[in-house]
Amino acid sequence: MLSLFICLLISFSWNLGRDNRGRQRIRLPSKRFWQKQRFSDSFWNKEQQRLDFNNNPLISSSLKALSHWLEDLGPSNLCQPDHRVPSQVADYNSLPQQFRDFLLHMRCRTYPLLVNQPRACAGKPFLLLAVKSLLPHFERRQAIRETWGRAGVVCNRTVATVFLLGTAESSDHFPDLRGVLGHEAKTHKDLLQWDYRDTFFNLTLKEVLFHKWFTKYCPQARYVLKGDDDVFVNTRRVIEYLKGLSEVETQDLFIGDVISDAGPHRDRKLKYFIPESVFVGQYPPYAGGGGFLYSGQLALRLYNVSELVALYPIDDVYTGMCLRKLGLVPEKHSGFRTFGIEEKYRWNPCVHRNLMLVHSRTPQEMMKIWPYVTKPQLDCQ
Ligand SMILES: *[C@@H]1O[C@H](CO)[C@@H](O)[C@H](O)[C@H]1NC(C)=O
Ligand SMILES: *[C@@H]1O[C@H](CO)[C@@H](O)[C@H](O)[C@H]1NC(C)=O
Ligand SMILES: *[C@@H]1O[C@H](CO)[C@@H](O)[C@H](O)[C@H]1NC(C)=O
């Protein structure tokens, strides 16, 4: 029966493949058109294969149950250090400490919210500014509040601002800043803090936890701008741009300083070094983590899909991976300058007026440039 069906299919496509004079048009592929599934020894790739397998709707649940039984699942409570890691990562003992910390906790995504602002989005903001900050960066946050991050109405649209924080622990040699932080949280009501070590490799966690928070407390925000606390954002320009978008353009909006064709750095001295025992492969297109702009709808979908993507130690690459899983590609926009602008334009208000986001600016630089950028009588001919 099956072979009969295949015969029919072949003769059918054979007929399709001839033009009206009966000449053959079919071109046979020179290479195999299917790809054998490759299994990798790198830890992240293995974790991702496990997630793909468990979430594959074509694999029946009984088979999954069997595979669970066969597989060493690691810790039953995913937030205990993962005891499989040292034996599964060949060069574990020679990896820099931050990799060991990352790998041991890679499966844990649930950390308690210590400081919440359940009403941050009560005004159903048009734009939510979500700023990645670190607990000791009081001065940067205050400069942002007084300049581009001022919450309220801008260009006839509501803007809300939240700062995303983890903890600064004494084991990482931070002084105890909880008292001051409590005061700041009460005064400004714009801090979100989760109970995890705020390190470079945990920025991915910050992203996932923020999207979880967003899904619960801010799902009606139309747009999100997520960025670092040392970028300068031209909030008006961003809002004017968003006002000009059609409903269709909004749906999958994700723009920033997009990097394509990148892959992991293998030089141990670089900040973005990733050993082969952790990851092999190319990176999907991703927007530099300094700042990007996307729709609230997409933020909800990014949270959903993040459950299907293993945590990766570089947060902007991780967001690119999640977008790819959704079948989306971030779009490059020349208004996003996460790698800075030419020095001679550093203080040029007209250049800033046409930019959406530029990296990096100190709090004092933000205070200095903001009045120029917002002055209505600025003549930029
Ligand atoms: C302000 O925005 C609202 C919709 O958000 C619109 O109805 C109103 O006309 C706008 N006002 C001005 C002065 O543009
Ligand atoms: C991330 O945070 C968790 C929870 O605080 C911590 O155990 C882990 O060491 C951190 N990872 C890194 C790479 O700092
Ligand atoms: C996210 O997933 C949940 C559960 O599968 C679903 O109900 C919801 O509609 C999804 N949300 C989006 C925005 O895709």
CATH number at 240 reads 3.90.550.50
61 in a structural domain: no
Regarding the beta carbon of 326 and ligand 3, being less than 6 Å apart is answered no
Residue 377 has a pLDDT of 76
Specify whether the CB–CB gap between 225 and 238 falls below 8 A.
yes
Q: Is the pLDDT of residue 294 over 60?
A: yes
The predicted model gives 31-54 an average pLDDT of: 81
When mean pLDDT is compared across 143-157, 278-292, 342-356, the lowest value belongs to 342-356
pLDDT attached to residue 304: 98
In this predicted structure, the answer to whether residue 378 has a pLDDT above a threshold of 80 is no
Per mean pLDDT, which range of 18-27, 145-154, 289-298 is the poorest? 18-27
Ligand 3: which of 252, 304, 322 to mutate, most ligand atoms within 8 Å of CB? 304
Q: Is the peptide bond before 360 cis (omega within 30 degrees of 0)?
A: yes
Residue 14 lies in a domain: no
Model confidence at 279, pLDDT cuts 50, 70, 90, reads very high
Owning domain of residue 221: 113-169+177-373
Index of the ligand 3 atom closest to the CA of residue 297: 13
Average confidence score pLDDT of the chain: 90
Give the model's pLDDT for residue 78: 86
Instruction: List the one residue out of 147, 299, 139 whose CA is nearest residue 213.
Output: 299
Q: Is the pLDDT of residue 34 over 90?
A: no
pLDDT at 272 over 90: yes
Ligand closest to the CA atom of residue 308 = 3
**Cα(298) to centroid of ligand 3, in Å?**
11
Position 31 scores a pLDDT of 63
Give CA–CA dist 209/170, Å, rounded.
23
**Percentage of the chain lying above the pLDDT 90 cut:** 77
Asked if residue 105 is part of any domain, the answer here is no
Residue at 35 is within a domain = no
| Residue whose CA lies nearest to ligand 2 atom number 14 | 199
Better pLDDT: 327 or 352: 327
Amino acid 293: pLDDT: 98
Q: Residue 194: phi, psi to the nearest 5?
A: -110, 160
When pLDDT is averaged across residues 131-138 and rounded to a whole number, the result is 98
236, part of any domain: yes
Q: Is the pLDDT of residue 64 over 80?
A: no
196 lines ligand 2 (CB under 6 A): yes
pLDDT at 73: 58
Average pLDDT over every residue of 177-206: 97
pLDDT higher than 90, residue 120: yes
State yes or no: pLDDT of 8 exceeds 70: no
The Å distance, Cα 304 to ligand 3 centre, comes to 6
Query: Does 219 reside within a domain?
Result: yes
105 lines ligand 2 (CB under 6 A): yes
Which of 107, 99, 87, 55 minimizes the C-alpha distance to 279? 99
In this prediction, residue 76 has a pLDDT band, given cuts at 50, 70 and 90, of: low
Summarised one tens digit per residue, pLDDT across range 214-236 is 999 999 999 999 999 999 999 99
Contact between 310 and 325 (Cβ < 8 Å): no
Ligand 1 centroid – CA 156 distance (Å): 6
In a domain, 21, yes or no: no
- Per-residue pLDDT, 16: 42
Instruction: Please give the distance, rounded to the nearest whole angstrom, from the Cα atom of residue 157 to the centre of ligand 1.
Output: 8
> For 375, phi and psi rounded to 5 degrees?
-65, 120
Over 80: is that where the pLDDT of 275 sits? yes
Residue 294 lies in a domain: yes
Q: What is the mean pLDDT of residues 227-253?
A: 97
Domains: count for the chain: 1
